[in-house]
Structure 1
Amino acid sequence: MKPVDGTVLVVGSGTQEYREYLLRSAALRADLWLLDAAAPTWQSPHLSGSTEAEPSDANSLIRAARSVAASRKVRGVLCYDEALILPAAQVAEALDLPGPSVTAVRNCRDKHRTRALLRDAGLPQPRYALVADLAEAAAAAEWIGYPVVLKPRGLGASRGVSLVRSAADLTGLFADARAAHYPGVPTYRAGILVEEYLDGPEISVDGAVHDGRYTPMFLARKEIGLSPYFEETGHMVSAGDPLLADQALRWVLAETHRALGFADGITHTELRLTARGFVVIEVNGRLGGDLIPYLGSLATGVDPGLVAVDVAMRTPPDLTQDRARTTGIRFLYPPEHCRVEDVTVPEADAAKGLLRSVALAGPGDELRLPPLDYLQRYAYVLCEAGTPAACAARLDAATAEVRLERRPLDLALGERAAT
């Protein structure tokens, strides 16, 4: 399966819990060479080698990549970290390797550029305005009509995104959006989008683009919590989801990628299914997070690590499904800011469809909810079943077995005990 003369550069590796499955699969297809800030640890079994380089610094990455290319045949670049997809594209462009162009990645990373290009192409999206301050946000919200969504222009993972139901809520939530940050992503003077709120189910689609042709791989149904923020609390992927065969959805996805100039690579597109049809929320120029591609592989048999490497080398990917299951993940958040005393999770049990149950926090960890921090989860459970309803029931049962012992954090007055 592994080509004898193919090395793929991996820019950043993410965390073991959320990304090792990708490296493990990718290593079956090509020799992997990691470019990252530190020497590999858990990544080592999946690598042919590594070079220490600052992954957010394109010049540092390009020097490291050229050094590797001097002694090996480098065929592509793989990156699945939102903060690093732009420097990864700059490496590919500097070494004349396949992959999304720098312009295409910027068109995804900068949500205002995304909106402008989709507007010009006449594609379905929320009404929006780019604003620099509270006064402009207030004017935009009045023009669009409440409720509206505030969204930082350059962030990801729903950081700083909130639902503003009325003018009375705007000041505080605008400050939250302005304060949200993520290492390695750009900031802008006019850095907030005010968008029309669209009701309806939210979905995401991970897809492969090869020589300009877009093909969806997995469709995930999303669960949202912690209102007025948009924390992602769960996802479910079904191999036979009827939306995957919907021609209107396929048209929107293909035309969206054409409008963004995204001709080669992997993307994660978020949409809402509204009364007026499918509406594009955003496009990310990398595989989805939250183990969504892993859910997809369990549900369908399509391996996202293999697909990502194939596309990185401009090789036609194999998207043949050989499974037909439903898989889901549920993330658990504390009810308040807290210091963790203990987290207990049930044992995996294939007979019950519980494939994984993982504690993400341990004794002494502090978990702070939005707007103080985001993605502050203490555990997750991952289940599979034959149908979405059965999978949801198994997720509910597994979630009920997770236990969190905590000490609430009163950020003004100190801590008090609770369980």
Structure 2
Amino acid sequence: MAKVLVVDTNFSSGPILEFLRSLGHTVYCCGGNPQDYLAKNDPGYIQLDYSDAEALLALTRELHVDHLVPGCNDRSYLSCALVNAQQAFQGIDTLEATLALSNKATFRQLALREGLSTPALHTEDAVPAHDSVIVKPVDAFSGLGITVVRAGDAAGLQQAVQQAKAVSKTGNCVIETHVQGQLHSHSAFIQQGRVVQDFVVIEHGSANPFVVDTSHLAIDFPNTTLKQLRAEVEHMAQRLSLTDGLVHGQFLLTEQGFAWVEMTRRCPGDLYSQLIELSTAYPYAASYASPFVGLKAASMPGGDARWILRHTLTLPKGAVMAHLDFKRPLMVTRWVPLAVSGDAIAPSPKSRIAILFAQAASSSELLDLSQAAQQRQLYDIHPARPTCQ
């Protein structure tokens, strides 16, 4: 059997490691934080800051790795692409294609040139006075450094640009027209530039408007829009000669159509893979990992659909957690604790308390659960009381 290195130690990469080991491979994982889930629990853990691509390359050679598998974040995929440019591995895109997608500015420019559905792009000195805009760091994620600026607010725009550049590792930002719409994600598995299986998920943020914490499969999603999403993913896959595997994108659904927020090649985090698997029985984590070890993704769901809500428990403001009280009965399908009583919980997205998967009996009940989660009415999180002196 082969030697496989997974470049991530977050809990969301756990199902990927499980699948790879089920094939009989020797599987290692690497990451710089020894307190991460897989770092503490996986026998194949190697401490390494994989943002150092040269160090990652040296590790692949030291271990004589046959396959390199990116984890559930963009830095992991970028480092794998940098290594792949010097020592080829299966399933990883060229560095050119990776940079085109991973940088928000280059992705937006490419999408506009290729005629994809995407917001208009602006420069700092040429923002239309009648346009509200959103300012983002080009290379930061999880909602960090993002600001919406109302039309005509020149001082607010300057402040937003400074904030975004301060967060950006390269000191750059992107300014684009602020599209009003409902956030969704589109997960598509491609083979030879064609979509063979895909899923649409509706996404909300309750603790932080720029961070998804509540999601479920989209109900009655318009088929015409789905066909256009597929067509644009296939266009980009063929334009960039993307390898077989996952193309995961986010988009805003509007009354006029949709607008892409981003496209990525890595597996999304917060156990998104388990949302799809619990909802449809489709082997999402296995299908993501398969192309990196020379296998094909599954092309059909594995069973009947279930109405599953995924909710990440976070806080809008920091606190030391004591306990939580559920405010209504829930059919809990899976509960993944990430914190314990006494832990200091930083504001979203810096800390997570748990990932909740709850099952509903119908689509209407699922929508009701989702609404309650968005309004933060499923539970109360109680802070710890000060200790007596």
Q: Normalising to structure 1: TM-score of the pair?
A: 0.78
* CA distance in 2 between partners of 1:171 and 1:407 (Å): 39
Q: Percent identity between the aligned chains?
A: 20
Say whether the 8 Å CA contact 1:53–1:61 is kept in structure 2.
yes
Of 344, 347, 354, 2:332 maps to 354
Report SS of the residue matched to 1:94: coil
Q: Distance in 2 between matches of 1:244 and 1:263?
A: 26
2:186 corresponds to 1:194 = no
Change (3 A) 1:253 1:35: same
Paired residue type of 1:289: G
CA contact 1:93–1:101 (8 Å) conserved in 2:
yes
| Aligned counterpart in structure 1 of residue 193 of structure 2, from 212, 220, 225 | 212
Note if contact 2:104-2:139 (Cα within 8 Å) is conserved in structure 1: yes
Q: What is the CA distance between 1:244 and its match in structure 2?
A: 9.2
- 1:272 counterpart (252, 256, 278): 252
Distance 1:292 1:140, change over 3 A: farther
| CA distance, structure 1, for counterparts of residue 161 and residue 206 of structure 2 | 19
- Counterparts of 1:382 and 1:314, CA distance in 2: 31
Deviation at 1:240, TM superposition (A): 7.4
Superposed counterparts of 1:335-350, under 5 Å: 337-344=317-324, 346=326
| Superposed displacement of residue 327, structure 1 | 1.6
Secondary structure of 1:307's counterpart equals helix
2:87 aligned with 1:102, yes or no?
A: no
* Counterpart-to-counterpart distance in 1, 2:33 and 2:213: 31
Aligned twin of 2:210: 230
Q: Which residue of 2 aligns with 1:404?
A: 381
Report the Cα offset of residue 271 of structure 1: 1.0
Give the paired residue count. Answer: 380
Aligned to 1:133: none
What one-letter code is carried by the residue in structure 1 that aligns with 2:333? L
Find the counterpart in structure 2 of residue 29 from structure 1.
Answer: 23
| Closer, same or farther: CA 400–272 of 1 in aligned 2, 3 Å | closer
Counterpart of 2:170, as a letter, is Y
Cα distance in 1 for residues equivalent to 2:380 and 2:255? 39
Residue 278 of structure 1 deviates from its aligned partner by: 2.5
Quickly say closer, same or farther: Cα 1:338–1:202, change in 2 above 3 A.
Answer: closer
Distance 1:206 1:383 in 2: 21
8 Å CA contact 2:333–2:359 kept in 1: the answer is: yes
CA contact (8 A) 1:128 1:194 kept: yes
The one-letter code sitting in structure 2 at the alignment partner of 1:113 is: T
C-alpha deviation, 1:222, in angstroms = 0.8
Alignment of 1:17-416 (within 5 A): 18-29=12-23, 31=25, 32-37=27-32, 43=38, 49-69=44-64, 74-98=66-90, 99-130=92-123, 136=124, 139-142=125-128, 145-166=130-151, 167=153, 169-180=156-167, 187-189=169-171, 191-225=172-206, 229-237=209-217, 243=223, 246-321=226-301, 322-334=303-315, 337-344=317-324, 346=326, 352-357=330-335, 360-369=338-347, 374-395=349-370, 400=377, 402-406=379-383
Distance apart, 1:9 and its partner CA: 1.9
Question: Which residue identity lines up with residue 128 of structure 2 in the other structure?
Answer: E
Question: CA–CA distance in 1 between the matches of 2:179 and 2:107?
Answer: 18
Mark the CA change 1:104 to 1:216 in structure 2 (over 3 Å): closer, same or farther.
farther
* 8 Å CA contact 2:100, 2:106 repeated in 1: yes
Cα drift, residue 154 of structure 1:
0.6
- Of 7, 23, 36 in structure 1, the residue corresponding to residue 3 of structure 2 is 7
The answer as to whether partners of 1:272 and 1:281 remain within 8 angstroms in 2 is: yes
Deviates more, 1:377-386 or 1:59-68: 377-386
Distance 1:230 1:164 in 2: 14
Post-superposition offset of 1:141: 3.0
1:176 deviation in Å?
3.2
Distance 1:154 1:172, change over 3 A: same
Worse-superposed segment, 89-98 or 387-396: 387-396
229-238 or 102-111: bigger deviation: 229-238
1:105 alignment partner, SS class: helix
Aligned partners of 2:234, 2:5: CA distance in 1, in Å?
27
Query: What's the CA shift for 1:234?
Result: 1.0
The runs of 5 or more residues in structure 2 that have no matched partner are none
| Cα offset, 1:382, TM superposition | 2.0
Contact 2:73 2:268 in 1 (8 A): no
Q: What is the TM-score when the length of structure 2 is the normalising length?
A: 0.84
Secondary structure in 1 matching 2:356: strand
Stretches of structure 1 lacking an aligned partner (at least 5 in a row): 131-135, 182-186, 409-415
Residue 411 of structure 1 is matched in structure 2 by none
Q: Write the letter of the residue equivalent to 1:97.
A: F
Q: Is the partner of 1:118 in helix, strand or coil?
A: helix
Q: Secondary structure at the match of 1:62?
A: helix
Return the alpha-carbon distance in structure 2 between the equivalents of residues 171 and 237 of structure 1: 38
Quick one: distance in 2 between partners of 1:302 and 1:210? 17
Classify 1:231/1:36 alpha carbon distance in 2 versus 1 (closer, same or farther; 3 Å). closer
Aligned-pair CA distance for 1:265: 3.6
**Cα distance change of structure 1 residues 333 and 195 upon mapping to structure 2, 3 Å threshold:** same
